[in-house]
Structure formats: C-alpha cells, structure tokens
Structure 1
Amino acid sequence: MIRMTLTEMARAVAGELRLAGAHTPDTVVSGTVDTDSRNIGPGDVFVAKPGEVTDGHLFVPAAADAGAALALVEHPVDADITQIVVPDVVAAIAALAREVVARVRAGGRLRIVGITGSNGKTTTKNLLARILQDEGETVAPRASYNNEVGAPLTMLRVTEDTRYLVSEFGAAGPGQIARLAGLVTPDVGVVLMVGLAHAGGFGGVEATLKAKTELVEAVRPGGVAVLNADDPRVVTMGAVAAARDVSVRWFGRGAAAEIRAEDVEVSGSGTTCTIVRGDERMPLRLRVLGEHHIMNALAAITAADALGVPLADAIARLETVEIAERWRMQPLGSDRIRIINDAYNASPDSMAAALRTLAQITEPGQRKVAVLGAMSELGEYAGEEHDRVGLLAVRLRIERIVVVGTDARRLFISAIGEGSWDGEAVFFETADEAYDYLMGELRDGDRVLVKSSNSAGLRHLGDRLGESFS
C-alpha cells in the first residue's frame, strides 16, 4: 500500500481513530492490508472481518503480536494496537482502495484493466499480467481475488511505482461488478463471455448479461472496451460502450474480430494457432491446455494491444506460461498416466470445454477418463445442465465416466440414459471412494480429467491422483 498517515486512513474510511503505543495521528503506515492474521507481518494492516465460521476480531491480538501497525475493526478490541473503528470493515476497505488508487492514478502512470465474464477471468488475468509485468510493475489478484473483499485487497497492493493494475471482477448477483469496478473506473474493460456460471444468483442468463455489462458502463470516458466478437450477448455491449465515449476492440475467432486466431490445433502439449491483426500474422504456441484458452489468450493480447504493448512481445511472453493457475487444466501425473486437474471451478461452458479438450488430446490406444463432480450456483438450471454434461461425455466417447457426489448424481443418470450402461459410468458418494476405484482401474495410457466446482472438493482428489501417478 502507499504511505498514508493514520489520520488520512481514518478520514478515507470515515472511521474513529484509537491510538496505541507511540503512535500519533501523523504516524505513517504503508504495509500490506489483509484479512488473514496468518499473513500479517510488521507494519501491516489487519482487517478484522466477521465471517460465517469465525470472527476476525478474535485474531486482533495475534495480529498485534505479529507486528501489525493497525487494525481495522467494527468495535474496539482489547489489544495493544492502534485501531480504526468503522461500521462495516468490508465497506471500509473498499473506500480505502478507492482513495489509494485515486492517489496513485493522479501521478499519471497507473493504467487499470478490469476483467469479467462467466468463464476464463482468472486465466485471462494471469495471461495479461504476464504480458504486462515486463512493461512495468504490475499488480494482479492472487488466485481468484475477485469479490467484495478480494478485489479491494488487490487494489490496496498498488504503490507509487505500480504501472498496471489488473482487476478481476466476479459477481453472484446484480450490482456487484458496478460497485467493484466503480472503485477504480478502469481504462480498459474486458468482457470474455456471458454464460450460465452463477446464473442461479442472477436469475437467468439475461440478468447475467446485464450484470456483466456493468463493467463496460464503468470504463472511464475515452477508455477501451475489449469485447468477444464471437458471443452475441457480449456484442450488444458495443452499443453501450459507444454511448459512453468508450472505444471497442474486438477479439475472437470469427472474421468480425480485429485480433483473431486462425489455424487452431490442439495437442497434449498445448494449443497452436496463428494470431491475425490486419495484415499481420504471427504464430502462437500456448502451453496452457485446452482450445478454449485461445479465447482467453486473445482477450489478453487485445487488452495489451490497447495499452500499447507490441503484438510480437505479447505473444512471446504468453508462450512462457505453462499453466494458467493451480487446479485449472493443470497437468499432473506422468506421460504414463496423465491427470488434468481442472476442479477449481465449473460451469456448463467450462465443463463442456474441458471434456472436449480431453477428447482432443487423447491419442489412439489411450483411454479417456472423466472424473466429474457437481457444478454449483446454477439454480433452476442445475438439473438440465448436469443432464447435458452427461450426454456430452457419452457422445464424446469417454471410456470411463466417474461421477462423484450426490449433487452430481443426475449427471450419472443422464450418462446411463444416453447409453453408458456397460460399466462406463460409475457413481460414488465420496472422493475417497472414487480414489480407491481409480487406483485399481487406471492403466498405462489413460488420460484423466478431474472437473467440478470448487465446492465439490475434487481438486484435492486430482492432487492425490497426480501424486500417485507421478
């Protein structure tokens, strides 16, 4: 975080300053801001966030013992540490993030990119950050820090030397992207796609479209919207951008895209294609598994292009990326038995893309094995979408379909109904049961996809399998 006095911080969050030790109102703080006391070190700021399981206020003394300079609290705590008392610590870190980013931006160097979409946000964020980090100091979210807590905490990592801030904006309901993006008014807003991920929280895909459009509406006048030319719903955002004096850069695989991919070929070592911009044609070898990640790469390249990064440099930097993120199409195991752990998140679109990738990278003589768990937050669409995944797995001729967890049982039933009844599809209540089955079932040449939403917990099953066959 930038250097701020205690008085300035209290004013930014409209809080009551309670001094401790040798602190005065003019004491300067510049440490990291975090909600986890285990991450706190000397000079840092601890945010005592109440949670569903525990209350951050219980850990203020531990933060003080770790050397924290300040605690942001909702009520005074009996601990030897300076505190700023506010009604709502989540609202307070948002207000502090707004102030910090505004101060740095006033220096004229900081450029801000916001990214949203039903799928691909974290991968695109990581790819873009890799491109930009060679241009100057770049701040981007750790993991999927994209909600009302994670996004402001990322913004608060900005310093006076930061040149680029890449923010990822997720949402479980209307208005959340508007609030988060409104803290920073991005120079560039990237919208990847509009699908059914989290549709249960929005009330349908049209409401999801409206929510994702909030990012385009938050881009500063004179800024750039980077939009998916292949998604008809995203295309409608072009008119929204034009009405706000925001220019549009289109990416995709179709002819309408300004930056597009042609000659796409998929293998077990990654995806190759030709990147086309006008008369320029440049090869890209993306080592991140999955044809669907070409769209994420295109989005990152187009955003970087809007920021003035040469196309050849962007492509060269992308080619150094081996995995997008842990638990996202992460290759594990060995050439003998390859495990692809993609169980951090799942939606109908990403589930279909992962299954198609499994089919594409499996060579003759090798078996396709899909270990599948539930897709969460689909609301009324959950049943039919799990049905679709079961049907697709059978139609892609997946030789073994291993379904795990009660919430995914309908996927198993759908696979059987489609014609997978001779042992191809099996069901287990727990990941431990599935692990025991797979340890006896897998054989040389198998290519195994592990895919589910985070809540299903199959990412840990993927890790166990990867270690067992490494």
Structure 2
Amino acid sequence: MIPLSLADIAAVTGGTVSGDPALVVTGPAYLDSRLAQPGGLFVAVAGDRVDGHSFAAHAYAVLGSRPTGRPTVVVPDPVAALGRLARHVVRAVAPTVLAVTGSHGKTTTKDYLAALLPGAVATEGNRNNELGVPLTALRLRPDSDLLVLEMGARGVGHLSYLCDIAPPRVAVVLGVGSAHVGAFGSLDLTATAKGELPAALPGDGVAVLNADDPRVAAMPTPARVLTFGERGDVTWRGLHLDRLARPTFSLGHAGIWHRVRLHQSGAYQVANACAAAAAALAVGVPLDTIAQRLSTVEEVSPLRMAVSHHADGLIVLDDTYNANPEAMRAALRTLVSIGSGRAGRTIAVLGPMRELGEASASAHAGIGSHARALGVDVVLSVGATAYASGIGFSDIPSAVHWLREHLGPEDTVLVKGSRAAGLDALSRDLRLHLSSPTPATDKSA
C-alpha cells in the first residue's frame, strides 16, 4: 500500500485514532490475522461467528469498530471504511483499471489477463466482492500503472459500488447465466446487475462484450465497444483439442491471426482467453505478444479444471471451486472429450449447485439428462439426489468409499460442485490415496 499514517487513514475513512496517529502503514491490508504483514493494516470485521477484533493483539495497525489495544483507526463500519480507503488509494495512484465480470469464467479470464499484463496488480483467486476488491486495490504501489480486478455481484447495485471504489477504464463482461439467479431473482435482473460495469466506463474507455451472448452484446455503455466470441471482433478459428482437451487455435483480430496453445483443459477456455486478449488489446498490447503470453500460462487459480494423472492411468479433473448449469455442462463436455480417447470409463462426481432459487430442481434434473446425452458412463450425485441420474450419496465419505472400491485404471473422473459442497475434499482424497499422482505433462497435440 502507499504509505499512509493513521491520521491520514482516519481522515479518509471518517474515523478516529486510538494510539499514535503518526504511525505510518506501509504494508498491505489484510483480513486474516494469520497473514499479518510487516507494516500492514489488519481490518477487524465482526462476523456472525468470528470477531476479528479478538485477533488483533499482534497487528501493527488496525482498522476496526472499537479500540483493540493496538494502534487502531476506529470507524462505525470497517467494511465501508475499507472501501473508502481503497477509493482514496486508487485515486492517488491513478492506475488504468481493467475489470472482469460475468456469471462464469471470471477468475480464469482475470488470470489470463494478469498474465498478459506483467507487473499489473491483480485479484488473487476470486476475491471479487466488497472486501476482496478494496483489499486488492490497497496492494497498489506508488508506481503501479495497471490494476486488474475481478468483480462479482449477487444483486443490483453491487457492481456500481465496486466501480465507485475502482473506476474501470476497460470493462469485460463474459456472460449472463444462471449462477446466483436465486439471489438476483431472474436472468433479466442478472443482466441489469452485470450491465453496471460497462455503464460505469468513461467515454474514452473500452467495453469488452461477448458478441455471442445477446444480453451482454446489448448492454449500454458510453465507451467504445470491442467484442469477443465466435462472432466477435476478437475471435478464433481452427480449434483443436489434444488428448487432455487443451485447446490450440488461431487468435484473430482485424484480419491478423496468431497461433495459441492453452495449457488449461476445456474448449470453453478459448472464449475466456479471447476476452482477456480483447482487454489487453484495449490497453495497447500487440496481438502477437498476446498470443505468445497466452501460450505460456501454465497455471490459473486452483480448483478450476485442474488435471492430475495417477500411476495406474487414472485422471482426475478437479473443478470444485463452483458450479452453475452453464459451467457444469462445459465441465461435462471436457470430461467426455478427455475420456473418449481412453480405455476406462468417464465418471462424473457432482455436488449440488447453489443459489438457483425456484429453478434448482429443474436445473439439476437437466444436468443429469445432459450427462446421459453426452454419454457419461457413471454419474455420482453427492448431496444432490435431484440430478436423478446414476448413484446418489448423502455425504462425501460415502462417495469416497464407493470410488475407492470401484475406480479402475484408465478411468477419467470429474469432480464438480458448488464451493459450499466441499467436494474439493473428495478430489483431494482421490489424488492422495488412490494412487500416486504425476503432473499433467502430456505434450501431445
């Protein structure tokens, strides 16, 4: 963070100082007391289960709602104060802000974009809410010129709030889907909420919109529009998937084409890569450089179609960070793409999809039908019997037991469900206990 005294922070946030007002914060802001940084600012939030103020004893400085015994800026609402502090830092540093939103694909697209802009300050993982966005912004240094933010929303007004903290100059909208539709209320309201991002752009900004999603393509914006997709300004051709469903394709814009080979599995990654490419073009990165950098991205955020091989030939696809119907269908297609060239079975271990509201039952049933139509050999439902397909288990230990008993060499297993379902533990069990994993080093094209 840029150096700020507690008196400065109090002036920005409307707080008062308990302790030495001249104490200067130079390290990042953080929420987890176990991640304390030298010279950092511990943001003490009182939650339903844990009160951060109880863990402030070793903090260098604190932003909280009451004195802590450590130098503290006391404010009525630490979350709102965190946003005000981040807004001040963004305005002081004045980086070019590139923001990514959408119902699915946000984190991988943000990861690609960060790789295309070396040196940019970027969201870690998917810290995309009213806490994560300001925490990322507060990592800006005085000489930072690029800020890449993933922005999430679960209701109308959320993105407008985040854009007030970090006004974007480039806005990427990936798609409007059924993720969190139970919270939004409808797809139309989801589109309204996502549309707040391109609407927040200045006239000389760039809106990167999905040409293949009618709701996104129609979003109003005062900025120049640069589309991506099969029908977009930034597009692809000659798509080929290797034995691990990793895409190779030609990336195109304005009649110029360059070859890209992604290291991430799934044909759906191509659209994410093209969205990131369009955003990078918007800030002046040449297309050939973009293609070269995309081809060198080895890792993205964890639990997103992570592929592990095992000594007996088993392949596990860990896509357990989150789940919604669109992402679930894409993951199942990737499972079949990889498994179709192998001797073993394709097995989908599916947890529940959360926050779908009244559409939940039909959405789960539809995914079960889609898995059967794709030819998935075995579907295991964990805590989500509404898939009405294959074998149902009420809990993870029961599913693990079945898998240990029935998995064979050359099987390909997809593990996917909403984060709250905890299926990452099941995937971890497969990797650690069934056989010795080896890296996904297959270089065949």
**Distance in 1, Cα, partners of 2:129 & 2:316:** 30
Task: After TM superposition, give the deviation of residue 292 of structure 1 in Å.
Answer: 0.6
Q: Aligned residue for 2:243?
A: 268
1:260-409 matched pairs, under 5 angstroms: 260-269=235-244, 270-334=246-310, 336-362=313-339, 363-405=341-383, 408-409=384-385
Task: After TM superposition, give the deviation of residue 203 of structure 1 in Å.
Answer: 0.3
Which amino acid is the alignment partner of residue 166 of structure 1? V
The answer to whether residue 75 in structure 2 is matched with residue 86 in structure 1 is yes
The answer to whether residue 165 in structure 2 is matched with residue 183 in structure 1 is yes
Q: Aligned residue pairs: how many? A: 432
Q: Aligned residue for 1:422?
A: none
The answer to whether residue 107 in structure 2 is matched with residue 122 in structure 1 is yes
How far does the alpha carbon of each residue in 1:221-248 deviate from its partner, in whole angstroms, 9 at most, with x for none?
Answer: 31000000000110111xx11xx2x001
Cα contact 2:86–2:165 (8 A) shared by 1: yes
Cα contact 1:333–1:465 (8 A) shared by 2: no
TM-score (norm 2): 0.95
Which amino acid is the alignment partner of residue 75 of structure 2? V
Q: Aligned residue for 1:50?
A: 46
**Distance in 2, Cα, partners of 1:450 & 1:229:** 30
Task: After TM superposition, give the deviation of residue 364 of structure 1 in Å.
Answer: 4.9
1:38-77 matched pairs, under 5 angstroms: 38-63=34-59, 68=60, 70-77=61-68
Task: After TM superposition, give the deviation of residue 365 of structure 1 in Å.
Answer: 2.7
Q: Aligned residue for 1:13?
A: 13
**Distance in 1, Cα, partners of 2:299 & 2:398:** 29
Cα contact 1:323–1:329 (8 A) shared by 2: no
Secondary structure (helix, strand or coil) at the match of 2:56 reads: helix
Which amino acid is the alignment partner of residue 460 of structure 1? A
**Distance in 2, Cα, partners of 1:393 & 1:76:** 55
Q: Aligned residue for 2:417?
A: 452
Cα contact 2:343–2:411 (8 A) shared by 1: no
**Distance in 1, Cα, partners of 2:56 & 2:255:** 59
**Distance in 2, Cα, partners of 1:42 & 1:164:** 24
Secondary structure (helix, strand or coil) at the match of 1:71 reads: strand
Q: Aligned residue for 1:99?
A: 88
Secondary structure (helix, strand or coil) at the match of 1:61 reads: coil
Q: Aligned residue for 1:112?
A: 97
The answer to whether residue 121 in structure 2 is matched with residue 132 in structure 1 is no
Task: After TM superposition, give the deviation of residue 440 of structure 1 in Å.
Answer: 1.5
Task: After TM superposition, give the deviation of residue 39 of structure 1 in Å.
Answer: 0.7
More displaced stretch, 388-397 vs 264-273: 264-273
Identity of aligned residues (%): 40
**Distance in 2, Cα, partners of 1:126 & 1:268:** 24
How far does the alpha carbon of each residue in 1:94-147 deviate from its partner, in whole angstroms, 9 at most, with x for none?
Answer: 000000010001xxxx211011000000000101001101xxx21111111001
Cα contact 2:110–2:149 (8 A) shared by 1: yes
**Distance in 2, Cα, partners of 1:28 & 1:47:** 15
1:240-259 matched pairs, under 5 angstroms: 240-241=220-221, 244=222, 246-254=223-231, 257-259=232-234
Task: After TM superposition, give the deviation of residue 28 of structure 1 in Å.
Answer: 2.4
**Distance in 1, Cα, partners of 2:328 & 2:6:** 48
Cα contact 1:267–1:360 (8 A) shared by 2: no
**Distance in 2, Cα, partners of 1:59 & 1:220:** 41
Which amino acid is the alignment partner of residue 4 of structure 1? L
How far does the alpha carbon of each residue in 1:311-350 deviate from its partner, in whole angstroms, 9 at most, with x for none?
Answer: 1111111111233221100012327000000011001000
Task: After TM superposition, give the deviation of residue 218 of structure 1 in Å.
Answer: 1.3
Task: After TM superposition, give the deviation of residue 168 of structure 1 in Å.
Answer: 0.7
How far does the alpha carbon of each residue in 1:279-325 deviate from its partner, in whole angstroms, 9 at most, with x for none?
Answer: 21111111111011111000000000001011111111111123322
Q: Aligned residue for 2:209?
A: 227
More displaced stretch, 426-435 vs 227-236: 426-435
Cα contact 1:266–1:361 (8 A) shared by 2: no
TM-score (norm 1): 0.90
Task: After TM superposition, give the deviation of residue 164 of structure 1 in Å.
Answer: 1.1
Q: Aligned residue for 1:421?
A: none
Secondary structure (helix, strand or coil) at the match of 1:297 reads: helix
**RMSD of aligned Cα (Å):** 1.2
Task: After TM superposition, give the deviation of residue 183 of structure 1 in Å.
Answer: 1.2
How far does the alpha carbon of each residue in 1:149-190 deviate from its partner, in whole angstroms, 9 at most, with x for none?
Answer: 111101111111212111111111111111011211111000
Task: After TM superposition, give the deviation of residue 439 of structure 1 in Å.
Answer: 1.2
| Structure 2: runs of 5+ lacking an equivalent | 438-445
Secondary structure (helix, strand or coil) at the match of 2:117 reads: helix
Secondary structure (helix, strand or coil) at the match of 2:391 reads: strand
| Structure 1: runs of 5+ lacking an equivalent | 416-424
The answer to whether residue 402 in structure 2 is matched with residue 437 in structure 1 is yes
**Distance in 2, Cα, partners of 1:100 & 1:447:** 48
Task: After TM superposition, give the deviation of residue 5 of structure 1 in Å.
Answer: 2.1
Cα contact 2:342–2:410 (8 A) shared by 1: no
